Chain A
Amino acid sequence: MKKYILDLEVVQNIRLHANYVLIKMTHAEPLPEMVPGQFAEIRIDGSPTTFLRRPISINYVDKSKNEVWFLVQLVGDGTRKLAMVEPGELVNVVLPLGNGYTLPQNPGAIKPLLVGGGVGTAPMLMLGSELSKMGCKPTFLLGARSSKDLLQLEDFQSLGEVYVTTEDGSMGEQGYVTQHSVLSAQRFDRIYTCGPKPMMMAVTKYAKANDIECEVSLENTMACGVGACLCCVENTDEGHLCVCKDGPVFNIKKLLWQI
Chain B
Amino acid sequence: MADLSVNIGNLKLSNPVMTASGTFGYGKEFEDFVDLEKIGGIIVKGTTLHRREGNPYPRMAETPMGMLNAVGLQNKGVDYFISEIYPQIKDIRTNMIVNVSGSAIEDYVQTAEKINALDAIPAIELNISCPNVKQGGMAFGVTAKGASEVVKAVREVYKKTLIVKLSPNVTDITEIARAVEGAGADSVSLINTLLGMAIDAEKRRPVLSTITGGMSGAAVKPIALRMVWQVSKAVNIPVVGLGGIMNWKDAVEFLLAGATAVQIGTANFIDPTITVKVAEGIDDYLNRHGFTSVKDIIGGLIV
Q: Which A residues have a C-beta under 8 Å from some C-beta of B?
A: 2-5, 43, 48-53, 94, 220-235, 239-240, 245
Contacts and interface: CB of A to CB of B under 8 A. Distances in A.
Nearest to B56: A235
B217 interface: yes
Given A5-B273, A223-B67, A240-B74, A230 B59 contact: yes
A57 B64 CA distance: 24
A51 B270 contact: yes
Interface of B: 22-25, 29-30, 32-33, 45, 53-54, 56-67, 69, 71, 74, 217-218, 266, 268-273
Contacts of A50: 62
Contacts of A230: 22, 45, 54, 59, 71, 74
Contacts of A48: 64-65
Main secondary structure of the interface of A (DSSP, over half): loop
B8 to A, nearest CB: 23
A37 to B, nearest CB: 19
A22 B167 CA distance: 45
Nearest to A226: B29
Contacts of B270: 43, 51-53
Task: Identify the 10 closest CB pairs spanning chains A and B, nearest first.
Answer: A231-B60, A228-B25, A3-B32, A224-B269, A228-B29, A226-B29, A231-B59, A223-B269, A230-B71, A230-B74
A212 B217 CA distance: 44
12 contacts: A5-B271, A5-B273, A52-B62, A53-B270, A94-B272, A223-B269, A224-B269, A228-B269, A229-B69, A231-B60, A231-B71, A240-B53
Q: Which of A2, A49, A223, A239 has the most CB of B within 10 A?
A: A223
A5 B268 CA distance: 13
Contacts of B59: 230-233
A224 B268 contact: yes
Nearest to B46: A230
A222 B272 contact: no
A229 B67 CA distance: 12
Contacts, number: 95
Nearest to B64: A49
Contacts of B66: 51
A97 to B, nearest CB: 11
A229 B71 contact: yes
Contacts of B45: 228, 230
Contacts of B57: 220, 232-235, 240
B267 to A, nearest CB: 10
Contacts of A231: 59-60, 69, 71
Given A94-B272, A233-B59, A240 B54 contact: yes
Nearest to A49: B64
B70 to A, nearest CB: 9
A233 B71 CA distance: 9
A234 B54 CA distance: 12
A51 B69 contact: no
Contacts of B23: 224, 228-229
A1 to B, nearest CB: 9
Contact of B67 (A52, A220, A228): A52
A53 B67 CA distance: 12
Contacts of A234: 57
Q: Which of B60, B66, B67, B71 has the most CB of A within 10 A?
A: B60
Nearest to A41: B269
A228 B56 CA distance: 17
A51 B62 CA distance: 7
B1 to A, nearest CB: 25
B196 to A, nearest CB: 14
B219 to A, nearest CB: 8
B32 to A, nearest CB: 4
A5 B274 CA distance: 12
A2 B29 CA distance: 11
Contact of B24 (A51, A221, A228, A233): A228
A100 B24 CA distance: 23
B269 A229 contact: yes
B58 to A, nearest CB: 6
A220 B58 contact: yes
Contacts of B30: 226, 228
Contacts of A229: 22-23, 60, 69, 71, 269
